[in-house]
């Protein structure tokens, strides 16, 4: 049988399942979809929520099945997987929360066919995609002048801003919106994942990534402006500004850990202690009422001192690397993290407050306006806490700039050489001991900066915020995002914070679903979401073809020698 038949049939069934009833009962008010009972829709555009996601995926399947595009089989596999995921998720969730598909009513057994029909459509799409081999047409060979490429990148990056806002605001938070917010958010993630998978299979995503790398400075500048514009979008609420600021703290710390783990290959299980050192130093030097030092210094000076003190402790912890490596080094760093927590808990020296912590850290202010105050910029109200978000964005941008320069420097190449083979690096004349201590020192300084900001944002410094589980979270952010890459730590920290917040509706099952999501990501992307070139080459599956070689040459105008 021709592979086109199941592809078209799957797309048609997906569209049909979108408009069929999905429930035999009236749902609560909320976005499942908006104030609807999931009954049969007669208006073509009267869909929202997960049904809109299914409609878009179904139409995309029909378009790809009928028109030859690069990587058509891979695109259909991604779209089919998204259709199956959304159908299963929403069908099962309606069954559990609403009483069941085909629930028995006074008039008998009423069966809702939307979920089964859409599910069969997704399976047919996967079957049709599996019959093809490779791409149906050659890869992309577009060419633009430099300004045309920059204009394209501008459009792509600016389009990410409403996408990020949609990720944060879809389905509400904290179990709001009638009890279906979590399922709506997961449906959005499934649809977005299917779209990204389709773009990757077509080669467009890799081609745009190559353009972004070719115009790195322009891309970074536009991304920074988009990040600073987030408070003016739908995500600019006090709740999400607080979450975004916390993400920034852990992103800055994860960038520092990425130097230690991602570049130098040194496993550090007590890294969160450096974040705590920066926080306690800032708490004692910022005029907190519970501080025994009683000194109030300007915030920029506090940041510098916190980074320097944390860096000194990093050098002290890194000194055992002259004698130990591998698992033994991990035990040394783990011991340091536990020593720090116990010391802070017992309030040795009166510098940590013990179980009472150090509360009352004064909030930051600028030009007489507190960072926690409601501001109005250009007639647009800005949520309280947005200045903290802007400040941490600038800190993260500085950390990313430092990481990029270090990675491309002579010191960065020495770290990478030690990571690949320490004995070979020593044989080539690299002073591995001093180089590894420098990795700990620089990484700890970045964590100290983040800790000083964290203390002012939360207005308190407590040892409970710097336990071992936080070190594991930072390490997971580095590995999940991609070790040794600049945006990897930021993306990993964002996922590790946003997913638990959006899955609060699932209560006891929240951490289970969160763990399953992490396992799936690492199963299909073992090199990380934004992999380094070396790890991509080491861990990419053999079936993954280099479809972007021609686009890179066409975009840059340079051929390899």
Query: Which pLDDT does position 185 carry in this prediction?
Result: 77
Q: For residues 145 and 50, what is the distance between their CA atoms, to the nearest angstrom?
A: 40
Q: Which of 445, 80, 144, 73 is nearest to 278 (CA)?
A: 445
Strands 108-109 and 375-377: unpaired
Q: Burial letters for 346-377: b for 16+ Cβ neighbours within 10 Å, e otherwise? A: ebeeebbbbeebbeebeebeeeeeebbeeeee
How much is the pTM? 0.79
Q: For residues 314 and 310, what is the distance between their CA atoms, to the nearest angstrom?
A: 6
Q: Are 478 and 471 in contact (CB under 8 A)?
A: no
Q: For residues 547 and 140, what is the distance between their CA atoms, to the nearest angstrom?
A: 8
Query: Which pLDDT does position 371 carry in this prediction?
Result: 81
Tokens coding 169: 């605001």
Tokens coding 78: 């991604």
Query: Which pLDDT does position 33 carry in this prediction?
Result: 45
Sign of CA dihedral 238, 241, 247, 249: negative
Residues linked to residue 376 through DSSP beta bridges, in sequence order: 381
Helix 386-408 to helix 432-458 angle, to the nearest 10 degrees?
A: 170
Sign of CA dihedral 549, 553, 558, 561: positive
Collapse the DSSP code of 136 into the 3-class scheme (helix H, G, I; strand E, B; otherwise coil) and give the result: coil
Tokens coding 325: 């490596």
Strand ranges (E), 112-264: none
- Residue 205: Cβ within 10 Å count: 17
Estimate to the nearest angstrom the gap between the alpha carbon of 189 and the chain centroid.
12
DSSP 377: E
Helix 204-214 to helix 216-228 angle, to the nearest 10 degrees?
A: 100
Sign of CA dihedral 198, 203, 204, 207: positive
Collapse the DSSP code of 369 into the 3-class scheme (helix H, G, I; strand E, B; otherwise coil) and give the result: strand
Q: What is the dihedral of CA 328, 333, 338, 343, to 10 degrees?
A: 130
Residue-by-residue DSSP string for 181-198: HHHHHHHHHHHHHHHHHH
Residue-by-residue DSSP string for 491-517: HHHHHHHHHHHHTGGGGGGHHHHHHHH
Query: Which pLDDT does position 540 carry in this prediction?
Result: 56
- Averaged pLDDT, groups of 10, the chain, 561 residues long: 81 88 58 44 61 89 84 88 89 64 38 80 88 47 70 81 71 47 76 86 78 79 85 79 89 92 88 93 86 84 94 89 80 91 86 86 80 74 84 92 89 90 89 90 94 91 89 87 82 82 69 77 78 65 44 37 36
Q: Which of 174, 170, 163, 167 is nearest to 239 (CA)?
A: 174
């Amino acid at each position: 049988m021709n592979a086109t038949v199941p592809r078209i049939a799957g797309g048609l069934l997906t569209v049909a399942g979108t408009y069929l009833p999905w429930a035999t009962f009236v749902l609560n008010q909320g976005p499942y979809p908006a104030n609807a009972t999931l009954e049969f829709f007669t208006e073509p555009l009267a869909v929202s929520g997960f049904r809109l996601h299914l409609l878009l995926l179904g139409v995309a399947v029909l378009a790809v099945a009928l028109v030859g595009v690069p990587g058509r089989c891979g695109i259909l596999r991604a779209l089919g997987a998204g259709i199956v995921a959304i159908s299963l998720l929403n069908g099962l969730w309606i069954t559990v929360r609403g009483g069941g598909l085909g629930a028995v009513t006074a008039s008998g057994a009423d069966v809702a066919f939307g979920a089964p029909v859409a599910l069969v459509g997704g399976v047919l799409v996967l079957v049709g995609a599996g019959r093809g081999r490779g791409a149906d047409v050659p890869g992309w060979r577009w060419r633009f002048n430099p300004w045309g490429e920059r204009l394209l990148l501008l459009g792509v990056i600016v389009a990410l801003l409403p996408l990020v806002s949609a990720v944060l605001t879809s389905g509400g938070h904290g179990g709001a919106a009638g009890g279906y917010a979590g399922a709506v958010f997961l449906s959005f993630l499934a649809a977005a994942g299917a779209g990204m998978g389709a773009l990757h299979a077509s080669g467009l995503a890799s081609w745009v990534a190559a353009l972004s790398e070719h115009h790195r400075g322009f891309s970074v500048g536009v991304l920074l402006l988009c990040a600073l514009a987030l408070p003016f979008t739908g995500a600019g609420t006090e709740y999400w500004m607080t979450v975004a600021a916390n993400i920034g703290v852990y992103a800055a710390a994860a960038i520092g850990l990425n130097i230690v783990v991602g570049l130098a290959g040194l496993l550090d299980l007590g890294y969160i202690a450096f974040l705590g050192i920066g926080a306690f130093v800032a708490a004692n030097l910022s005029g907190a009422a519970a501080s025994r030092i009683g000194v109030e210094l300007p915030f920029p000076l506090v940041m510098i001192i916190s980074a320097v003190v944390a860096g000194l402790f990093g050098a002290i912890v890194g000194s055992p690397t002259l004698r130990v490596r591998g698992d033994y080094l991990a035990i040394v760093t783990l011991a340091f993290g536990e020593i720090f927590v116990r010391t802070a808990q017992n309030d040795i020296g009166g510098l940590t407050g013990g179980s009472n912590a150090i509360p009352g850290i004064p909030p930051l202010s600028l030009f007489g306006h507190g960072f926690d105050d409601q501001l109005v910029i250009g007639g647009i109200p800005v949520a309280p806490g947005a200045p903290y978000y802007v400040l941490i964005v600038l800190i993260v941008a500085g950390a990313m700039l430092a990481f990029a320069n270090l990675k491309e420097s002579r010191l960065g190449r020495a770290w990478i050489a030690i990571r690949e083979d320490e004995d070979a690096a020593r044989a080539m004349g690299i002073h591995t001991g001093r180089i590894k201590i420098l990795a700990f020192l620089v990484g700890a300084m970045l964590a100290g900066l983040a800790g000083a900001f964290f203390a002012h944002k939360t207005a308190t410094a407590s040892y409970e915020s710097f336990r071992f589980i936080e070190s594991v979270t930072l390490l997971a952010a580095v590995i999940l995002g991609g070790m040794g890459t600049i945006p990897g730590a930021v993306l990993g920290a964002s996922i590790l914070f946003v997913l638990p917040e959006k899955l609060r509706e699932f209560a006891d099952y929240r951490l289970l679903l969160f763990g399953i999501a992490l396992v799936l990501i690492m199963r299909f992307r073992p090199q990380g979401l934004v992999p380094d070139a070396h790890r991509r080459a080491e861990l990419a599956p053999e079936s993954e073809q280099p479809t972007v070689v021609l686009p890179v040459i066409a975009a840059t105008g340079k051929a390899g020698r």
